[in-house]
């Protein structure tokens, strides 16, 4: 754990010498941005700044380990970090931190094990303050401030616990199963797969299956289904908690064939309003009202995407048999594995969008270093025609290859997440391209 690294053990990452003038200003600026030190006198901040050790962490590295002891608070000088709590069978993101934020305070101030693991999302420059240095600078002159720090640490730890419970209670109570559909390369047909999967599941459970469209910057699922959206998730970011559920459900669109659709944004600029916190709030509400929630994700992995990954019970990675798409899918799978996605929560869908695919299924599997879970046959111009007409093939044309693929996906999900249903095959292959 980084909190245990001493300066002599890693000379490139931390230093003992008295900081230079400009370095001292940088340290002070970081401490002043931290809310925990808003009421601390400048002389105390300077004493703290002199005791800080600078630590550099590469993107992707784990900084703190959940459950281990620690004696250090870390302040983020530059970079972004992700705090996750492992609560089997899930891994939940409880905070996304950036410049001026801090972590590790509960272990340092309350002498408790680390409640969360911390990962560097980008290259991070941290300022580390150990327990002895903190008390040495504050115990004699800032006792009230030190007590406030302890209260804040306790409050934050309880907040993380509440977030973890909120993110996992639906699954533990066997409420809605959340399925993320992720296409790491544009044009792979992820939206068509999502829409038809919802259509297929809705034939079993009319009114109990929702498509949450987070394919930013353009969320077009409602239009592709022939519906006219009037509201979206982004416009609910400022809704008070007491009325959030009512307003959220009022924005859901009902399709005559049974599916329900909630657009993420109606305008590209609204996408920024869909934060990880808003997604967590929305999923907590929607899980109480539906059996399945299918989320159509965008191409880029953002903080919101990461938050959604943590809330899913299954992730479908959609790719086409083309070299660039397969390479993007392989990179996405590596990221998902690094984030701790269990193998049984991940499935690969190979979507044939041309009559003669340039890459064979066997070659795709070799590149991905794992089998394709489901293959969707080439469907000619039917998907494009359905989009123009505003219909869902899974509801209107059972002979469509896309509809067959959606049905096979529904069987796959039912076999793993169905409630008391007869288990289907764990891997289903649809007809080969014609």
Same domain, 140 and 285: no
What mean pLDDT is predicted for residues 110-120?
Answer: 85
What mean pLDDT is predicted for residues 402-421?
Answer: 85
Same domain, 147 and 220: no
Q: CA-CA distances (angstroms) from residue 146 to 36, 41, 143, 153?
A: 9, 12, 5, 11
What mean pLDDT is predicted for residues 237-261?
Answer: 87
Q: How confident is the model at residue 15 (pLDDT cuts 50, 70, 90)?
A: very low
Same domain, 196 and 221: yes
* DSSP secondary structure code for residue 139 in this structure: T
Same domain, 124 and 201: no
- Cβ–Cβ under 8 Å, residues 191 and 224: yes
Domain boundary (164, 194, 209) is at 164
What is the CB neighbour count within 10 angstroms for residue 315? 23
Q: What is the pLDDT of residue 89?
A: 57
From the list 359, 394, 386, 377, the residue with the least C-alpha distance to 434 is 377
Which residues span the domain enclosing 251? Answer: 174-417
CATH number for the domain spanning 138: value is: 2.60.120.10
Same domain, 285 and 309: yes
Domain boundary (141, 164, 187) is at 164
Sign of the CA dihedral running 323, 325, 328, 329: negative
Same domain, 141 and 206: no
Residue 43 belongs to some domain of the structure: yes
Q: What is the pLDDT of residues 294-317, one digit of tens each?
A: 999 978 778 888 888 888 889 999
Residue 425 belongs to some domain of the structure: no
Q: What is the pLDDT of residue 195?
A: 95
Residue 433 belongs to some domain of the structure: no
Q: 């469509």: which residue's tokens?
A: 400
Same domain, 104 and 178: no
Residue 153 belongs to some domain of the structure: yes
CATH number for the domain spanning 241: value is: 3.40.50.300
> Which uninterrupted H or E stretch holds 351?
strand 346-351
Residue 200 belongs to some domain of the structure: yes
State pTM to two decimals: 0.60
Q: What is the pLDDT of residues 117-164, one digit of tens each?
A: 899 988 999 999 888 888 777 766 667 777 777 777 776 666 566 555
Q: How confident is the model at residue 186 (pLDDT cuts 50, 70, 90)?
A: confident
What mean pLDDT is predicted for residues 340-364?
Answer: 90
Q: CA-CA distances (angstroms) from residue 397 to 73, 120, 210, 265, 394?
A: 59, 47, 21, 29, 6
Same domain, 156 and 194: no
Based on the structure, what is the number of domains in the chain? 2
How far is it, in rounded angstroms, from Cα 167 to Cα 91? Answer: 9
From the list 123, 104, 128, 119, the residue with the least C-alpha distance to 55 is 128
Same domain, 187 and 66: no
Residue 423 belongs to some domain of the structure: no
For the chain, what is the largest distance between any 2 Cα atoms, rounded to a whole number of angstroms?
80
Q: What is the pLDDT of residue 16?
A: 45
- Cβ–Cβ under 8 Å, residues 51 and 98: no
Q: 């969008």: which residue's tokens?
A: 353
Domain boundary (132, 164, 196) is at 164
Same domain, 154 and 190: no
Q: What is the mean pLDDT of the chain?
A: 82
Q: Which of 66-80, 85-99, 103-117, 192-206 has the lowest mean pLDDT?
A: 85-99
Q: What is the pLDDT of residues 210-246, one digit of tens each?
A: 999 999 887 889 999 998 888 899 999 888 888 888 8
Q: How confident is the model at residue 81 (pLDDT cuts 50, 70, 90)?
A: confident
What mean pLDDT is predicted for residues 166-191?
Answer: 75
What mean pLDDT is predicted for residues 330-346?
Answer: 85
Q: Which spans in 212-318 are helix H?
A: 221-224, 241-250, 276-286, 303-311
Quick one: the chain helix, strand, coil %, rounded to 5? 45, 20, 35
CA 254-256-257 angle, to 5 degrees, is 110
């Amino acid at each position: 754990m980084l909190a245990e690294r001493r300066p002599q053990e890693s000379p490139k990452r931390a230093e003992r010498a008295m900081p230079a003038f400009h370095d001292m200003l940088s340290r002070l600026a970081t401490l002043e941005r931290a809310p925990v030190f808003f009421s601390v006198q400048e002389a105390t901040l300077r004493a703290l700044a002199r005791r800080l050790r600078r630590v550099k962490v590469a993107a992707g590295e784990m900084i703190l380990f959940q459950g281990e002891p620690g004696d250090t608070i870390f302040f983020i000088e530059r970079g972004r970090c992700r705090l996750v709590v492992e609560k089997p069978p899930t891994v939940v993101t409880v905070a996304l931190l950036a410049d001026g934020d801090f972590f590790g305070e509960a272990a340092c101030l309350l002498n408790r094990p680390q409640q969360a693991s911390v990962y560097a999302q980008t290259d991070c420059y941290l300022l580390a303050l150990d327990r002895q240095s903190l008390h040495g600078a504050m115990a004699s002159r800032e006792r009230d401030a030190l007590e406030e720090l302890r209260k804040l640490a306790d409050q934050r730890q309880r907040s993380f616990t509440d977030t973890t419970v909120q993110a996992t209670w639906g699954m533990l109570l066997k409420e809605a199963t959340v399925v993320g559909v992720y296409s790491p390369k544009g044009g792979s047909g992820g939206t068509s797969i999502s829409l038809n999967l919802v259509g297929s599941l809705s034939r079993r459970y009319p009114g109990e299956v929702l498509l949450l469209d987070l394919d930013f910057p353009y969320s077009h699922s409602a239009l592709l289904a022939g519906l006219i959206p009037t509201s979206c998730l982004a416009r609910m970011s400022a809704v008070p908690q007491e009325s959030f559920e009512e307003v959220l459900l009022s924005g859901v669109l009902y399709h005559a064939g049974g599916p329900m659709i909630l657009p993420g944004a109606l305008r590209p600029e609204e996408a920024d309003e869909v934060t990880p916190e808003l997604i967590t709030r929305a999923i907590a509400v929607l899980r109480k009202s539906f059996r399945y929630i299918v989320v159509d994700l965008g191409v880029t992995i953002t903080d919101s995407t990461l938050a959604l990954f943590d809330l899913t019970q299954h992730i479908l990675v959609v790719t086409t048999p083309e070299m660039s798409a397969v390479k993007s899918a392989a990179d996405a799978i590596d990221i998902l594995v690094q984030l701790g996605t269990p193998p049984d929560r991940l499935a690969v869908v190979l979507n044939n969008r041309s009559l003669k695919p340039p890459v064979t299924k066997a070659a795709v599997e070799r590149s991905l270093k794992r089998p394709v879970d489901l293959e969707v046959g080439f469907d000619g111009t039917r998907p494009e025609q359905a989009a123009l007409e505003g219909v869902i093939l899974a509801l209107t044309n059972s002979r469509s290859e896309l509809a067959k693929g959606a049905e096979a996906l529904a069987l796959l999900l039912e076999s793993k997440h169905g409630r008391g249903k007869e288990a289907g095959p764990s891997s289903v292959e649809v007809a080969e391209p014609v």
